[in-house]
Amino acid sequence: MRTRWLVIWLTVSAVLNVCLLVGWLQALKPRPPAQRAIARRPVITNILRPIRTNVVFAPRLLTWQDIESEDYPTYVRNLRAFGCPEPTVQDIIVADVNELFATRLGVEVPNPRREWWRSEPAPELVREAEERRAALETERRELLTALLGADWEARHGNSFPEPDSNPLDGELLGAIPPDTRRQVREIERRHARQLEALRLRLAAREQDGAPSADELARLERETCTELARVLTPEQLEEYLLRYSAGADRLRAQLRGFEATPDEFRALFRAQEQLAARLDDQSAALGDAEIKRLAALAREHETALERALGPARYAHYRLLQDPLFQQTKTVAERVGVEPEKLIPLYRVNQLATEERQRILTDTTLGPEDRSRELAELYTEHLNSLRQLLGEEAFLRLQAQGLP
């Protein structure tokens, strides 16, 4: 037993001696010299750097976006909460609502003038436009009364937006970009100012206040040239078909013709081409110039007949006859049946031609001329009585013979 403990003690002693020896050898190894820390000298400067001891956050400024709202009741509450005076609140809301309904007018109310080929707008389209406009006006008034109370109208009256006189709508004009629309409107305003200035100049010279046809044509050509710079050819023609003075004159000439869109477009183009060629002619009307103008007129009529066809061209020419227009007006006034209009015109035409022959016949003396005119008058009355019947004939006499 003693031997066992002796062995353990000797083993532990040997291990301890080895550890001491290793430690002594490590201590004898040379060590690298220690580096001294170099102190950084302070930089002396006259720049003061204040130390922030507290931070103050500025409140966010209130902007119009915080007040404005797409919901009108909320918008009104925000304006009043912000401290806007009530008249200012009314001005802002009425202007905003009017702008909204002006946009809706252009979108929801049909434009009768879009059917530019009609001499008179279609009655059903006019009625629909009036009914839709009245409905929008009622809706606008009810909205403003609900938002501002019943007294808003005392301050603003009937401020419903007026419809645009020349709406840019439809497939072609409706596609015009906003910047181009603004340019078109500026051209229109400039044309209106020039027209008014022309009237004022004529009035100052104590002339008739209505500009001459040549002056109006010049202004219209200048306006057309400006529009051609901002519109495509298709858009320009659509605009002129609707709103130009030339198209208005053509619609007046075609009253009763019931032109189709293609017919009206063909007539309008022929009219514009003739006007452009006449502009190129000299102002002096010598024999050669008169012949040239007559040739242009014949070419124009040939182009019209080719575009319309013989039957429709004959109807068109009939409508241009002043005697036919006079006969038509009187016939409508006294209630002559539509199918008797052309025969009535033929009777009046024959009587007019015969009267002109009698008046220009140099072989007739005064007595013979008076006798033939009296006989012609009697024959004319008998023809009218036979054509119209006694009742219609008496109404025609009461209105005055055409």
More confident residue, 152 or 18: 152
Is residue 6 scored above 60 in pLDDT? no
pLDDT at residue 348, as a whole number = 92
Is residue 179 scored above 50 in pLDDT? Answer: yes
Share of the chain above pLDDT 90, in %: 30
Is the pLDDT score of 77 beyond 80?
yes
371/402: higher pLDDT:
371
Any idea where the domains of the chain sit in the sequence? 65-156, 321-402
Tens of pLDDT along 347-394? 999 999 999 999 999 998 999 999 999 999 999 999 999 998 888 888
For the segment 253-261, the average pLDDT, to the nearest whole number, is: 89
Residue 81 has pLDDT above 60, yes or no: yes
Q: Which residue has the tokens 């009253």?
A: 255
Provide the pLDDT for residue 37: 38
Which pLDDT belongs to residue 46? 47
Residue 382: what pLDDT? Answer: 92
**Nearest alpha-carbon partner for 292 in 307, 274, 306:** 274
How high does pLDDT run on average in the chain?
80
Q: Read off the pLDDT band of 200 (50, 70, 90).
A: confident
More confident residue, 76 or 190: 190
Q: Which of 50-59, 78-87, 207-216 has the highest mean pLDDT?
A: 78-87
**Which residue has tokens 């014949």?**
298
Tens of pLDDT, residue by residue over 229-243, are 999 999 999 999 999
Confidence (pLDDT) at 32? 52
pLDDT score of 396 more than 50 = yes
**What local confidence, expressed as pLDDT, does residue 20 receive?**
59
- Mind listing the pLDDT tens digit for each residue in 114-142? 889 999 888 898 999 999 999 999 999 99
Mean pLDDT value across residues 148-159: 78
| Angle at alpha carbon of residue 227, lines to 189 and 184, rounded to 5° | 45
Q: How confident is the model at residue 280 (pLDDT cuts 50, 70, 90)?
A: low
Q: How do residues 312-350 score in pLDDT, each as one tens digit?
A: 999 899 888 999 988 888 888 888 888 899 999 999 999
Residue 176, pLDDT above cutoff 90: yes
pLDDT tier, 206 (very low <50, low <70, confident <90, very high otherwise): low
Residue 30 confidence (pLDDT) above 70: no
**pLDDT for position 253:** 87
Over residues 88-107, the mean pLDDT reads: 87
| pLDDT band at residue 56 under the 50/70/90 scheme | very low
Position 4 scores a pLDDT of: 40
In the chain, pLDDT over 70 holds for what percent of residues?
Answer: 76
Q: For residues 245 and 159, which has the higher predicted lDDT (pLDDT)?
A: 245
pLDDT at 208: 59
